[in-house]
Chain A
Amino acid sequence: MSPSTPTRRSRLLTIYAALVFAFIYLPIVILILYSFNRDGVGGFPPRHFTFEWYRQLFADGPIWDSVLNSLIVAAGSVVLSLTLGLLAALALDRANFPGKALFRRLVLLPLILPGIITGLSLLMFAVVSGVQLSLFTVFLGHGTALISVATTELFAGLQKMDRAQEEASLDLGATPWQTFWRVTLPNLKLSLIAAGLLIFTLSMDEIAVTFFLIGRDNTLPLEIWGRLRRGITPEINAVSTLIFAVSVGLIVIWYRVRTRGLGADAQELLERP
């Protein structure tokens, strides 16, 4: 092997990596670029810079109604899944009950199974129990499916927590209730924020489950979905660009709070007794 081979090989590797990055980012860049293109979503090169599509977007009532619906559903889901996820994480960390192993796996199922399976199961449940589909069923669906994310994150937080603090609090005469509010919860603050942001983002973007639980009022992804079927305009590029910007903003916050991946946490949840 000649001595120059490793450097040539590593240069090739660098070029390959750059191409993969291009593949990952090119569609997003093109999407953003064409949101400013007067002549529509296709063609090349994009000509005639315009804000027209953004102007149309801001005047578009149904889109903003759906944004509001999505925000309501996402906020509700955060509250529901954080509450139940916190309790579930505490239960898995501290209590022994029959069916614990089953419960641990069951909670994670919506994260593992395709959205269509969870969505259709919930649809059947709604139909059988005579509940009319609406934003409320979407909220129940998101809130329930995302308990998986909350439990995973909060369980990881609990595992890292120092139990001695809670013991000290109880020894010094605080009630379990006081200990929970003054010691346990403050210790979990970062995990709660991280899980909340993640749940919020996932709920805002959810389609597969929402698809089957939606009633008359659309969430934002479903509103966009409906429009895609009727033909595409750069207005969708414009709204996508805004969604992208908001996601990136939330991700930046998420990263400030948290550095470990969800996968590692899920692993931990499955492996601990």
Chain B
Amino acid sequence: MYSRAYKTIVSLPPLLWVGVFLLLPYALMFAHSFWAVRDGTVVHQWNLNNYHTLFSKPVYLEVLLRTMRIAASVTLCSLLLGYPLAYYLSFHSGARKELLYQLVIVPLWVSYLVRGYAWKTILGSEGVLNGFLQYLHLTHEPVSFLLYSPFAVVLMLTHIYTPFVFLPIYAALEHIPRPLVEASQDLGAGSAQTFLRVIFPLSIPGLVAGATFAFVLSLGDFLAPLLVGGASSTMISNVVQSLFGAALDWPLGAAISVCIVIVIISLLFLTERLEKRWSFK
């Protein structure tokens, strides 16, 4: 029913725009990863040296592993907080369900920076937590290991991504047909058994989606380490940032970026399959 002209008019501008301002920049990033740098300027000489450097110098692999460790910790912590919360809301919150749901969602849209800053003021050596501990006479010296550590990064990112993880799990739990749960109980299964054998398996697609969110989002984060992490929790994106900044080696930074993209895309591909396999529709 739509004319050829109509279709052209609606497709052409976004295609052109996305082609120029998105595809081209991403392609430029990709191309840079195969170029070289000489005397601080990029020379368009195609080679694989950047990738060779990445895989031969242990420092990059080390940082990548640390990043994955941090991202995995964030994922695990967010699941430990988000799953029981989603389960509680879906099955045990009664009439307050709608209100509590909104309460979990609100922080999702509250500034990343504001929340990161809040943790900085809490964890610092003259921060709120230290003040609290000294007020209770639990310590006399300020505890200084809280801020500027991988722990602080994990804490801050867990705080930010718990609602992200909560959402898909809650959606999955809400989609479980209640008669299924009742049938399990009627047939004599206890509540623990019903949870383990009916509810939990049916919530796995949501759990996988939530875990993917948390992992992918923390994997690329470079602000949390700058804000609360310090040198001991430098993550892979911080390396990219410094290569593009002070170190002025764009090609190497681009090569790391390409690796990050490959990791993320393959992860998404994998979890999409997992979700499909575990969904019961």
Contacts and interface: CB of A to CB of B under 8 A. Distances in A.
A99 to B, nearest CB: 8
B121 A45 contact: no
Contacts of A248: 106, 110
A221 B126 contact: no
Interface string A86-117: 01101100111101000100110110111111
Nearest to B220: A114
A115 to B, nearest CB: 7
Tell me if B's interface is mostly helix, strand, loop or mixed: helix
Given A23-B81, A95-B7, A263 B257 contact: no
Nearest to B170: A261
Interface string A114-141: 1111101111110010000000000010
Contact of B25 (A90, A116, A125, A170): A125
A221 B227 CA distance: 13
Given A41-B121, A106-B22, A116-B241, A244 B88 contact: no
A210 to B, nearest CB: 11
Contacts of B117: 31, 224, 228, 232, 236, 240
Contacts of A118: 25
Interface string B126-161: 111011101100000000000000000000000100
Interface in B96-132: 100, 102-107, 109-115, 117-122, 124, 126-128, 130-132
A19 to B, nearest CB: 9
Contacts of A94: 2, 6-7, 10
Contacts of A99: 15
Contact of A44 (B135, B220, B223, B244): B135
B223 A97 contact: no
Interface string A215-234: 00000010011001000100
A199 to B, nearest CB: 12
Interface string B250-267: 100110010011001000
A113 B111 contact: no
